[in-house]
Amino acid sequence: MQSFDAIVIGGGTNGMACAARLTKGGKRVLVLDAADRPGGAAVGGDPASGALQMPLAHLLMMLDPRVHAGMDLDQHGFSYAATDLTTTALSATGDHLVLEGPAGASVSGSLSDADRAAWATLRKRLLTYAEALVPFRALTPPRIARKAGNDMLGLAKIGLGLRRLGREEFREFLRLFLINVADFLEDDLTDDRLRGVLAFDAVLGSWLGPRSPNSLLVYLNRLAGEAAGTRAALALPKGGMGTVADAMARSTAASGVTLQSGARVERILIEDDRATGVVLTSGETYRAPTIVSAAGPKQTLLDLVGARHLDTGFVRRTRNIRSRGGAAKLHLALTARPDFRGADLATRLMIAPDINTVENAFNATKYGEVPERPVMEIVIPTAHEGTGTDDPHLLSAIVQFAPHDPRDGLDKARKQMLANTLNVLEDHAPGIGGLISERELLMPQDIEARYGMAGGNWHHGELSVEQMLFLRPFADVAQYSTPIAGLWLASAGSHPGGGISGAAGWNAAERILSGVAA
């Protein structure tokens, strides 16, 4: 049997990025993925197998440039259908607001001059702060301990970057660091549509409402991402999100990584307190001195390792990783082009009419209820690839918020969620209900079942300040290593979190290659 230096569990974005980086570092790597095709949340549907096989992720905004360049994705079939995607804040009356350029650089539509000026100032400030956070993303989180292997030079650079903000701006940065996004927006802006979409963007994919503390920080983290070389931009790959997964898989294979699909790991072998291999559900055993898990930290530690190999306090902290998913995913096949009251379909369409609607949608989920008026981000991938008016279209929407623990049971909640979502859609695109040929709504529990994400949370653990940076997923394992020698974490549950990014996997690989003991 072929021998490997490292086994990576999970062939999603992070797993493949990690494998690629390890291979560059001279390791022979085996990637084991449970699904039929590698790519995790970015896996696209096989066109032949039905219209609704859409991937969980529908936009690119976090793809790590190290991963993009390091894996030569452009050489492996990856290109953009749209870079710097425009956002349309939909109005039920057709009075849309159009935000062009990264993070709404220019706004067209009926917006007061005062709001225009205020937004320009706020946006500049947000991007300045986000820029200060960017270097953190590529860094192993530091630990306050001697000989912790901290990247002191990298940390010094970040510190310097923050100081360069100047005294006033640095103070403002500290003031805003833990603030909620609603307060931040209401201080300076008056337009509901603008405030609504910004508030929505801040809490997208998290378990926070716009009035939850630290929701602005989550927004800054999002703005620290980039697409096609532009900070805070949104992009759509040519051929759909699935092409990212495909390009990564091709690159991984080309670099000499052995990638095995349909290989579900049942447990990690631990011998003499060292991870020495994995056992698949099929019974097969693979051995390697380094085991990297790109499955979520909860699943890795509690299911694959098992509590009996860990200390009780550590198990407590693992169980306490908060991982509530608040987003549902809607997939529709439409028989013809929908009409969102004249909005350009080749933009990101947002239904988040004001801050309170977003907040109210979140409120319901706290009590296990389905929101009456969900808010959503809509992408119509077919509109970007020259599909005609009478041709069928696909619609993908992230709908917030869905109860992670529905009071009346999952089936009833899913049905209600779909009905309420379609009602909201109908208000904004009259007649869309009549165009639907196929529909699918994934509740957080469905996402958990399909993608193995604990609680259906995309980040394999909520992204909020108490679970970020050196607290992600929690302090003991924030540096990708675990108490089990030879076992490493590399999922979105580790710093810097999720999105189709690969950053966590890449960081973990760099940490492993740095020679720090696990």
Q: Which lies closer to another protein via its Cβ, residue 303 or residue 339?
A: 303
Smallest distance from another protein to CB 312, Å: 4
Query: Is the CB of 73 or the CB of 270 nearer to another protein?
Result: 270
d(CA 245, CA 53): 14
Going residue by residue from 319 to 338, which x/- string records binding to another protein, judged by CB under 8 A? Answer: x-------------------
CB of 200 to another protein, least distance (A): 37
**147 in contact with another protein (CB under 8 A):** no
Q: In angstroms, what CA-CA distances link 278 with 30, 53, 169, 266, 384?
A: 11, 30, 50, 8, 43
Minimal distance, residue 469 CB to another protein, in Å: 22
- State which of residues 92, 105, 280, 315 lies at the interface with another protein (CB under 8 A): 315
Task: Tokens for 279, please give them.
Answer: 């056992």
Among 49, 93, 312, 389, binds another protein (CB under 8 A): 312
Please tell me whether residue 165 binds another protein under the rule CB under 8 A.
no
Exactly one of 49, 113, 168, 313 binds another protein (CB under 8 A); that residue is: 313
The DSSP secondary-structure symbol of 282 reads T
Contact in structure between 132 and 161 (CB atoms under 8 Å):
yes
Can you give 304-369 as a three-state secondary structure string? HHHHHHCCHHHHHHHHCCCCCCCEEEEEEEECCCCCCCCCCCCCEEEECCCHHHHHHHHHHHHCCC
Q: List 441's β-bridge partners, or say none.
A: 330
Q: Provide, rounded to whole angstroms, the least separation between the CB of residue 510 and another protein.
A: 25
Contact between 220 and 126 (Cβ < 8 Å): yes
Query: Total binding residues for another protein by CB under 8 A?
Result: 15
CB-nearer residue toward another protein: 42 or 304: 304
CB of 277 to another protein, least distance (A): 17
- Give the one residue of 157, 316, 412, 415 binding another protein; rule: CB under 8 A: 316
CB of 440 vs another protein, minimal distance in Å: 35
Cis-peptide, bond into residue 47, ω within 30° of zero = no
Query: Least distance (Å) from another protein to the CB of residue 320?
Result: 10
170 binds another protein (CB under 8 A): no
Q: What's the closest the beta carbon of residue 140 comes to another protein, in angstroms?
A: 21
Q: Within 13 A of 511's CA, how many CA atoms are on the CB side?
A: 33
CB 442 within 8 A of CB 354: no
Q: Are strands 6-9 and 29-32 parallel, antiparallel or unpaired?
A: parallel
Residue of 224, 297, 273 whose CA lies nearest to 491: 297
At its nearest, how many Å lie between another protein and the CB of residue 143? 15
Site string for another protein, 272-311 (x = CB under 8 A): -x----------------------------x---xxxxxx
Q: Which is nearer to another protein, 2 or 312 (CB)?
A: 312
How far apart CA 42 and CA 485 sit, in angstroms, is 31
Task: Between 313 and 409, name the residue whose CB sits nearer to another protein.
Answer: 313
Which residues within the stretch 65-94 sit at the binding site for another protein (CB under 8 A)? Answer: none
| Cβ distance to another protein smaller for residue 61 or 310 | 310
C-alpha to C-alpha distances, 484 to 251, 270, 274, 508, nearest whole angstrom: 30, 8, 6, 15
Q: In what order do the strands lie in the sheet with 6-9?
A: 258-260, 29-32, 6-9, 290-293, 487-489
319-352: burial string, b at 16+ Cβ within 10 Å, e else: eebebbbbbbbbbbbbebbbebeebebbbbbbbb
Please report whether residue 314 would count as binding another protein according to CB under 8 A.
yes
**Rounded to the nearest whole angstrom, what is the least distance from the CB of residue 298 to another protein in the complex?**
12
Q: Pick from 436, 363, 453: which is nearest to 400 by CA? A: 363
Q: Which of residues 191-250 bind another protein (CB under 8 A)?
A: none
How many C-beta atoms surround the C-beta of residue 470 within 10 A? 17
Nearest residue (CB) to another protein, 273 versus 344: 273
| HEC profile of 452-484 | CCHHHCCCCCCCCHHHCHHHCCCHHHCCCECCC
- Of 162 and 307, the one with the shorter C-beta distance to another protein is 307
Q: Give CA–CA dist 178/464, Å, rounded.
A: 10
266 binds another protein (CB under 8 A): no
Strand pairing class (87-89; 348-351): parallel
Q: Which is nearer to another protein, 170 or 314 (CB)?
A: 314
Binding to another protein in span 433-492, by CB under 8 A: 483
CB closer to another protein, 39 vs 296: 296
Q: How far is the CB of 518 from another protein (least distance, A)?
A: 12
User: Which parts of this chain interact with another protein (CB under 8 A)?
Assistant: 273, 302, 306-316, 319, 483
